Structures are given as C-alpha cells and as structure tokens.
C-alpha cells in the first residue's frame, strides 16, 4: 500500500523556506500545527489571523520534533522507548503471587475430620 505524497511549504523550523514532499499524514499534521502550508491550495479570501505566542511556540516545537524524527530515521537511530504505563489508580501495584504455593489457601482450609470416637455435631444426621 503506497502512501499519498503531498507537497508543503515550510514556514518555520529547520526546513524554513523549503518545499518538501511528505506523506499525506505528515502534511496534514504540519498544516494543522501551523508550521507549513499547502502551496497548491487556493488562497483564502481572509488571511489567517496571526498566531499567539503560545501557538507559535507549539508550531516551532512541532517542526523541530518532526525534523528530528526525520534525521533519526535517516541515521537509523531507534525511536525512544515510550514510558511504561502508569500504575492503576491508587498508585499501588498488587503482588499477584500466592503466599502459599501448596494450593491450600487460608480461605479454602477444611476443618479436620472428627475422630471416630467423637460425635459429629456440625452435620445433621441422615436417616
């Protein structure tokens, strides 16, 4: 399955003022993160409002992260290992190993059978 290739005009980051051919998913992400535009798209009648400082910082960080990923891929650097899943709510992990591996758990213990000379008072007698 081949991925659709699209062109983007980079506005900020290491590839600023370059036209790049990227996958459709990367192009959509770059355009949505505001660090690139589609050079073949029709011009908007109303210009895009200026980015706030926070949006500009996010766009620059996204451009840097994408460029670093491209560099690492080209250098055959493995991607970083994601952090392990957080522990379940409460922050306590339970040890699921049994205390007694003999198969006799305290909740399953059956009382000892009465001796033959002692009467069995716990069970009703059958007739």
User: Taking the CB of residue 10, how many other CB atoms lie within 10 A of it?
Assistant: 20
Element (H, E) at 122: none
**Residue 115 confidence class, pLDDT cut points 50, 70, 90:** low
Is the confidence at residue 74, as pLDDT, over 80?
yes
pLDDT tens per residue across span 86-107:
766 765 666 677 666 666 556 6
CA gap 8, 20 in Å, rounded: 5
Is the confidence at residue 53, as pLDDT, over 90?
yes
Residues in the chain, total:
127
Q: Which whole number is the average pLDDT over 42-69?
A: 88
């Amino acid at each position: 399955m081949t991925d659709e290739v699209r062109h983007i005009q980079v506005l900020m980051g290491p590839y600023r003022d370059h036209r790049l051919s990227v996958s459709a998913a990367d192009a959509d992400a770059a355009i949505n993160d505001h660090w690139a535009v589609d050079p073949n798209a029709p011009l908007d009648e109303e210009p895009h409002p200026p980015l706030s400082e926070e949006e500009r910082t996010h766009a620059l960080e996204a451009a840097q992260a994408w460029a670093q990923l491209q560099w690492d891929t080209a250098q055959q650097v493995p991607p970083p290992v994601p952090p392990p899943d957080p522990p379940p709510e409460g922050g306590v992990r339970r040890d699921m190993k049994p205390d007694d591996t003999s198969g006799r758990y305290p909740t399953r213990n059956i009382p000892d059978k009465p001796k033959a000379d002692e009467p069995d008072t716990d069970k009703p007698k059958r007739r």
